[in-house]
Amino acid sequence: MPELPEVERTRLSLAPLIGRTITTVTLRRADICDSFNALGTPHKSAPRDLLAGAKISSLTRKGKQLAIHASDGRTLCIQLGMSGTVRLLQPSTQDKGTQDSFPAHTHAVWFVDNYSQLLFIDPRRFGGLSTYPTESELHQHRWSTLGPDALTITAHDLAHACEHAHRPIKSLLLDQSALAGVGNIYADESLFRAHIHPAAHAGTLTKPQLNSLARAIRFILARAIKAGGSTLRNYADSTGTSGAAQLLHAVYGRAGKPCFACKRPLSGIRLAQRATVFCPACQPPPPKPRPQMKPA
Per-residue pLDDT of the chain (296 residues; tens, 9 = 90+): 799 999 999 999 999 999 999 999 999 999 999 999 999 999 999 999 999 999 999 999 999 999 999 999 999 999 999 889 999 998 765 554 445 578 899 999 999 997 799 999 999 888 999 999 999 999 999 999 999 999 999 999 999 999 989 999 999 999 999 999 999 999 999 999 999 999 999 999 999 999 999 999 999 999 999 999 999 988 999 999 999 999 999 999 999 999 999 999 999 999 988 999 999 999 999 877 565 556 65
For the question of residue 2 being annotated catalytic, the response is yes
Asked if 84 and 174 sit in the same domain, the reply is no
Are 252 and 18 a contacting pair, CB within 8 Å?
Answer: no
Of 28, 167, 274, 280, the catalytic one is 274
Range of the domain at 17: 4-145
Asked if 191 and 210 sit in the same domain, the reply is yes
In a domain, 287, yes or no: no
In a domain, 295, yes or no: no
In a domain, 292, yes or no: no
Of 62, 64, 142, 170, the catalytic one is 64
Domain boundary (91, 122, 145) is at 145
Asked if 132 and 207 sit in the same domain, the reply is no
Which domain CATH number covers 195?
1.10.8.50
Asked if 172 and 238 sit in the same domain, the reply is yes
Cis, bond preceding 2 (omega within 30 deg of 0): yes
Of 3, 6, 8, 189, the catalytic one is 3
For the question of residue 64 being annotated catalytic, the response is yes
Domain boundary (145, 178, 196) is at 145
pTM, to two decimals? 0.92
Asked if 80 and 169 sit in the same domain, the reply is no
Domain count, the chain: 2
Are 219 and 152 a contacting pair, CB within 8 Å?
Answer: no
Of 2, 133, 168, 198, the catalytic one is 2
For the question of residue 74 being annotated catalytic, the response is no
Asked if 132 and 164 sit in the same domain, the reply is no
Domain boundary (114, 145, 176) is at 145
Asked if 115 and 156 sit in the same domain, the reply is no
Asked if 197 and 244 sit in the same domain, the reply is yes
Pick from 139, 136, 150, 140: which is nearest to 178 by CA? 150
